[in-house]
Amino acid sequence: MTTHIIGELNPPNRLMLTPGPSSMDPRVYRALATPLVGHVDPWFRGCMDDVQLLLRQIFQTENRITMPLSASGSGGIEASVVNTLEQGDEAIVAVNGTFSDRMAVIAGHTPAKVTKVEAPYGQPVDPEDVRRAGKGKKIKIVGFAHGETSSGVITNIDNFRKVADELGALLIVDTVASLAAVPLDVDRQRIDICFSGTQKAISAPPGMSPITVSPQAEEVFRNRKTKVQSWYFDLTTAMNYWGKDRLYHHTPPVSLIFALREAMRIVIEEGLENRWERHRTNQLALIAGLEAMGLELLVKNPEDRLPTVTAVMIPSAVDDVKVRNQLLDEFNIEIAGGLGPLKAKIWRVGLMGHCSQKQYVLLFLAALEKTLIDQGFRLPSGAGVGAAIQSYTHAGAAAALSR
Ligand SMILES: Cc1ncc(COP(=O)(O)O)c(C=O)c1O
């Protein structure tokens, strides 16, 4: 067999203004590169305690089952539905984009009956439609995506909690794109299962899915008549490792756990409320800039806009891929295109965690202006950056007034 010499790894240094993964703070890279220890080493147990304490603060919960699953965000979806659903159960999933649809698809792999309640991409699902769909039925779970990353839409959790209460259902919320960027309080909002991803607003590497489970959901797990169809994602056995016994379940990604711990330390140092405000302010400046450049947003109602992902309509005269490639080649900036029915119709600009910064918003607007002009799109010179600066000035004045 021929020997192929492969060069040393040397990836480009991108600014990832994508809907995930986001760029990471240098402190997180340093934690990732610290020496490996064994997953049952007594020292590592203390590190696991730290991770659980940090996760509980970020989710705002006292839940016993709170841990990072060794899986990407999709693993969080899978764990949520396979632990709750069994033969004879009925589930309702509110679908308004690719990722909420994924919850319905994964639930469809269980023996339960799954009903999708849909809204057009770019809008949240109306909780009234969920109420109507579940009326007179025994519904086990109501699930939805708090932040629908494919279209940049946020959904109000409290309205869905109300409907789930009326239906006697557990509430499952996907916060992959919203945790640590958007107000969320798992205990106060009585979310039964809430999961996220490490690579978005927490700004740790991809590959883990923090999850938390209410005592009510734990009770449902205990009363199951059948085994959970997945051994790996059976949360009750996985908790033997993350619980007080620390019994071996599988070998977790130790280095990713180190990185997650450091990323969460950064979240707590900043403070959740400051972080929510930072995401809001930077998105408002981005939107002001985009609109001043003559671009339109997919999500028309400002209240429905997810602060971490802004969906921009691609002007008809402009080539989606050429623009994204130029941003990458000339400015080292990555943004994302649309998924499914929104492919080639929108760009998705992510301002998540470490990437939600004033300097990046202004840089991106300038880079986008240059790129659009090169692609033949006419726009008022400097309008985007100018409008964003004004937005920051107003936000600063408003903050000073409220102090
Ligand atoms: C809202 C939402 N849920 C689930 C997922 C799936 O996560 P992953 O790609 O990490 O498996 C994503 C990924 O972007 C997401 O945005």
Q: For the segment 30-59, what is each residue's pLDDT rounded down to a tens digit?
A: 999 999 999 999 999 999 999 999 999 999
What distances in angstroms separate CA 347 from CA 96, 196, 242, 290, 312, one per listed residue? 17, 23, 39, 12, 5
Backbone angles phi, psi at 193, to 5 degrees: -135, 125
What are the helix (H) ranges across 98-180?
98-107, 127-134, 157-167
3-state SS class at 178: coil
Q: How far apart are the CA of 197 and the centre of ligand 1, in A?
A: 7
3-state SS class at 148: strand
The predicted pLDDT at position 213 comes to: 98
Structure tokens at 139: 């519904």
User: Is the entire prediction scored with pTM above 0.95?
Assistant: yes
Q: Which protein residues are within 6 Å of ligand 1, measured from CB?
A: 19-20, 72-74, 77, 99, 145, 147, 149, 174, 176-177, 197, 206
The predicted pLDDT at position 403 comes to: 67
Q: How far apart are the CA of 21 and the centre of ligand 1, in A?
A: 10
Q: How far apart are the CA of 260 and the centre of ligand 1, in A?
A: 17
- Specify the pairing of strand 90-95 against strand 113-118: parallel
Q: How far apart are the CA of 73 and the centre of ligand 1, in A?
A: 5
Which residue minimizes the CA distance to atom 7 of ligand 1? Answer: 73
Q: How far apart are the CA of 99 and the centre of ligand 1, in A?
A: 6
Closest CA to 351 of 210, 206, 180: 180
Q: Give, for ligand 1, the residue of 176, 182, 200, 306 to mutate: max count of ligand atoms closer than 8 Å to Cβ.
A: 176
Classify the C-alpha dihedral 353-48-223-106 as positive or negative: positive
Structure tokens at 333: 């900036």
Which residue minimizes the CA distance to atom 16 of ligand 1? Answer: 149
The predicted pLDDT at position 318 comes to: 96
> Which residues of the chain, if any, have pLDDT below 70?
403
Which atom of ligand 1 is least distant from the CA of 149? 16
| Separation CA 200–CA 145 (nearest Å) | 14
Which atom of ligand 1 is least distant from the CA of 147? 1
**Geometric angle at alpha carbon 322, from 369 and 377, rounded to 5°:** 40
Q: How far apart are the CA of 386 and the centre of ligand 1, in A?
A: 34
